[in-house]
Structure 1
C-alpha cells in the first residue's frame, strides 16, 4: 500500500519545464546566430534581428541559416530588393546543400518585387536540375518544413509545384498560351484543384469558355485533390462569375505565342515520355534523358 501511494505521488508531480531554447524553438548556445534568432522569435524585433544576422554571416556562424533567415525577415519588412542582393553577394559562402533552399527564397523574392523574367529563368533552372538528376541530391524524396512541421516531398510533387509557379509567372506576362501549356504539364504530373483553376483562368483569357468550364467542373465535382479547400471553393465562385460576365479580351492578351519557350515546352513533352521506374540514383521521372538536355531553352 505504501509503495502504491508513493507511485501515485510521483505521477501527480508536475513535469519539468522544457529548456528555454526548446520552449521558444531556438537553437541552443549563445552564438551570434542564436542571439539573432532570439531577437527575431522572442523579442520580435525584426530590424534588430537583421543586424544580428549580418553579424552572424560576417562571423561565419551558421551562414546557411543566417543568410536564409535574414532574407525572409527582410522580405517581411518590405526590403525584398536588399534581400535579393544579400543572397547574391553571400551565397558563395554557403554550403552546396543550402543552394536549393536559397533558390526557393530568391524565387519568392523575385515574385514579391515583380521581377518576373528573373523568376522564370530561376524556375527553369530548377527544372533543368531535376531533368539532369541534380535535385534532391539524387534522391527520390526530400524533407521539407512548413509551419514548423516536417513532411516528405516527392520529385513528382516538386516538379508539379515548380511548373505551377512557372505557369503563374507566364500569366503575369499575359503569355496565356505558355501558361496553359505549362499548367497542363503540371496537371499530368501531379494534379490538384489550384492548378486546375489557374488553367481555367488561362482558357478564359483566350475566350475558350467550353474548355475552361470542363476543367472547372472537375473541381466542382470534387475530382481533384484540394477541391474542398475553402480557397478552392472561393476561387470556383470567382471563376463562375467571370464566366457570366464573359468580358471581351484584348488582342494583346491572345496574340502572344510561345516564342522562345517553344523548345522548352517541347523538351517537357519528350522528357515526360521518358517516365520510367526508379532504378538508380537518377531521379525517377527524368531518368535516361541526357539526349534531350540540349532541347531545353533554359
Structure 2
C-alpha cells in the first residue's frame, strides 16, 4: 500500500519512540531522555534535565531522572542537593518517589544517619496512614514491568533498608530488632540472611544457624532464589569457622527506637501478623529492648 512520505515519517518516529521508550516532542525533557536513553550520554542528559527543571518542563520526572543519572556517574552529592533544593517545585504525588531516590543516594555515599532518619520518617507516615497518598497500594515499576505494592510490603521493605543502615553503622543489635520486625510482617530469604549476619556478629551462632536453616530448607518466600541460598551457605561456613565467644563482640545501642515509633510498628504487627504469631517469644525479646533503644 502506497503512503505519503509524511505519514511514513510520522510512523517511523512513533516506532522510534516506542522502541527506545522516549517521549516525543522537542522540549528540554524530551531532549534529556533522548541523550540518556538513545545517545547514552549521561552528562548531556544532566544538562538537559537542568534546563527542563528551570523551564518548568515535567519537573517531577526531570528531577527524579536527573538524580538517577547523577548517581550513575558518581555525582551523588550533587543529586542529593538537587533533590533538596528543587523538590518544592514538584507535586505532592511525586514526593514519595523522590524520597526513595534519596534513600538510594544516601546509601551509595555512606550517609547512614540521613538514611536512617528518612526511613524512620517514611515508616511513621505508614502508621499515620499518610503513605501512598492514602491508598492501600501503589503501582511500582521494575525492569520495565509494572506491579502493585501493598502497604504491608512497603513497610517490610523500609524496615529491611533500615536494618541494612544499622548494620553499616555496626549497630547489630538494633539491626536485629528491625529485621525481626520486617520478617514478622513480610518474611523473605534475603532479609533472613541479613538477620543471620546480625546474630553472627553478636556471637549468637546457634540462633543464626536456625535462621539460615529456614532459608536452606525452603521455609521462607524466595528460598528457591539461588542468591540467598548461596549466601546462606556461605554464612553457615562462616559460622562453622568462628570460635570466638560472644564476649569478644562489641555492640552498642546508641541508636534505637523511640517509644512512639516502636508502638506504631507494633500496631502494624498486631494488625498484620496471624493471631498465633503475636505470642511468639520473639515479641517478648523485642519488647525487652524498648527501654534501651532511643532513636
Q: TM-score scaled to structure 2, two decimals?
A: 0.84
The separation in 1 between residues aligned to 2:269 and 2:229, in whole angstroms, is 33
Q: Is 1:272 matched with 2:253?
A: no
Give 1:175's aligned residue: 171
- 1:35 to 1:297, Cα distance in 2 relative to 1, 3 A: farther
Task: Pick closer, same or farther for the CA change 1:68–1:57 going to 2, 3 Å.
Answer: same
Indicate the residue corresponding to 2:43 in structure 1. 47
Given the alignment, which residue of 162, 175, 195 partners 2:158?
162
Judging changes above 3 Å, is the alpha-carbon distance between structure 1 residues 252 and 209 closer, same or farther for their aligned structure 2 residues? Answer: closer
The residue number in structure 2 matching 1:147 is 143
**Structure 1 CA distance for aligned equivalents of residues 248 and 52 of structure 2:** 49
Cα separation, 1, equivalents of 2:57 and 2:94: 14
Q: Does 1:196 align with 2:192?
A: yes
Distance 1:77 1:276 in 2: 41
Q: Secondary structure at the match of 1:43?
A: coil
Secondary structure (helix, strand or coil) at the match of 1:152 reads strand
Among 120, 130, 142, the alignment partner of 2:126 is 130
Structure 2 CA distance for aligned equivalents of residues 149 and 175 of structure 1: 36
Q: Following TM superposition, by how much is the alpha carbon of 1:261 offset from its aligned partner in structure 2, in angstroms?
A: 2.3
Matched residues, number: 266
- Alignment map for 1:35-74 (pairs within 5 Å): 35-74=31-70
Distance 2:145 2:34 in 1: 20
- What is the root-mean-square deviation in Å for CA atoms of aligned residues? 2.3
Conserved? CA contact 1:64–1:94, under 8 Å:
yes
Q: d(CA) in 1 for partners of 2:57 and 2:214?
A: 50
Spell out the pairing of 1:2-21 with structure 2 (5 A cutoff): 19-21=15-17
Instruction: Report the Cα offset of residue 258 of structure 1.
Output: 5.7
Q: Give secondary structure in 2 for the equivalent of 1:61.
A: coil
Partners of 2:208 and 2:264 in 1: how far apart?
Answer: 23
> Unaligned regions of 5+ residues in structure 2, if any?
1-10, 274-292
SS in 2 for 1:150: strand
In structure 2, relative to structure 1, the CA distance for the partners of 1:177 and 1:270 (3 Å cut) is same
Equivalent in 98, 103, 122 of residue 99 of structure 2: 103
Q: What's the CA shift for 1:19?
A: 2.3
Structure 2 counterpart of 1:113, from 106, 109, 118: 109
CA gap 1:131/1:209 in 2 versus in 1, 3 angstroms: same
Checking the alignment, whether the CA contact within 8 Å between 1:177 and 1:258 is kept in structure 2 is no
Does 247-256 or 167-176 show the bigger shift?
Answer: 247-256
Instruction: Indicate the residue corresponding to 1:293 in structure 2.
Output: none
Matched, 1:256 2:247: no
- 2:31 is equivalent to residue 25 of structure 1: no
Distance 1:264 1:251 in 2: 32
Q: Is the 8 A contact 1:56 1:62 kept in 2?
A: yes
Whole-Å separation in 2 of the counterparts to 1:268 and 1:197 = 25
Structure 1 residues 16, 74: closer, same or farther in 2, change over 3 A? Answer: closer
**Does the 8 Å contact 2:172/2:251 carry over to 1?**
no
1:274, distance to aligned residue in structure 2 (A) = 4.4
Name the SS for the 1:254 alignment partner: coil
In 1, Cα distance between the equivalents of 2:72 and 2:132?
A: 28
Give the equivalent residue in structure 2 for 1:287.
none
Asked whether the equivalents of residues 80 and 113 of structure 1 are also in contact (C-alpha less than 8 Å), the reply is yes
